[in-house]
Amino acid sequence: MLQPVEQEIWELLEPGADELDLRIVRVRFVGGERSGTLQVMIEPKATSRTNPISATVDQCAEVSRMASALLDVEDVIQSRYNLEISSTGMERPLVTANDFEEYKGARIKVQMAVPFENRRKFIGILENFADDLITLTHDEDGQTVSLPYEQIKYAHLFFTDEDMRKMMNGIEE
């Protein structure tokens, strides 16, 4: 799911994030030959499905300073670019195999790079991740489908209106 330059940047930034007790969640470079945007998403290492905490503005600023210095020295991106460091937010992306393992039982939305069973988008409960297949139970019809990990363009946590109401009621109690 990562382009080679994104993988190289991830590997470059990961040790520094690790020292700050943070985890790189996603690296995305969008743009062309002349300019682009490098987006790096982070979260505290303590974040999990049962402990959904976000990176603070100060943590994002610290990673931004660290990333700017490293990227200037290593010169991984040859064109001009803007650097964006952000927290994951509620609809956290699922990128690595560990992400899919950690969030079993969560509702997710998956966009495939190529159609799978005549569809590109799937929303449902993440049941399993094994043998490079993501298994989910469709919200739509209750059917189970196994999607090839390598063909996933994008996946993230997904919340229905009902999920949001339940979370809000839990906060109020």
* Domain 4-87 and domain 97-172 have a common topology: no
CATH topology of domain 97-172: SH3 type barrels. (2.30.30)
Confidence category of residue 164, pLDDT binned at 50, 70, 90: confident
Retrieve residue 49's tokens. 């499905």
What pLDDT digit, counting tens, does each position of 118-157 carry? 999 999 999 999 999 999 999 989 999 999 999 999 999 9
**Domain boundary assignment for the chain:** 4-87, 97-172
Sequence-separated (6 or more) residues with CB below 8 Å from residue 168: none
What pLDDT digit, counting tens, does each position of 6-65 carry? 999 999 999 999 999 999 999 999 987 788 999 999 999 999 988 889 999 999 999 999
Alpha-carbon distance of 168 to 173, in angstroms, equals 9
What pLDDT digit, counting tens, does each position of 67-125 carry? 999 999 998 998 899 999 999 988 999 999 999 999 999 999 999 999 999 999 999 99
Confidence category of residue 171, pLDDT binned at 50, 70, 90: low
Q: Of 141 and 168, which is predicted with more confidence?
A: 141
Cα dihedral 122, 128, 129, 133 in deg (nearest 10) = -50
Q: Which residues pair with residue 130 across a beta bridge?
A: 133
Alpha helices (H) in the chain, listed in sequence order: 4-19, 57-74, 97-102, 161-172
CA 62 to chain centre: 20
3-state SS assignment for residue 98: helix
pTM of the full structure: 0.86
Q: For domain 4-87, give its CATH number from 3.30.300.20, 3.40.50.300, 3.10.450.50, 2.40.390.10.
A: 3.30.300.20
pLDDT at 163: 83
Reference 14, options 104, 98, 108; nearest CA is 98
Alpha-carbon distance of 158 to 114, in angstroms, equals 21
pLDDT at 1: 66
Alpha-carbon distance of 77 to 79, in angstroms, equals 6
Alpha-carbon distance of 126 to 92, in angstroms, equals 14
pLDDT at 30: 92
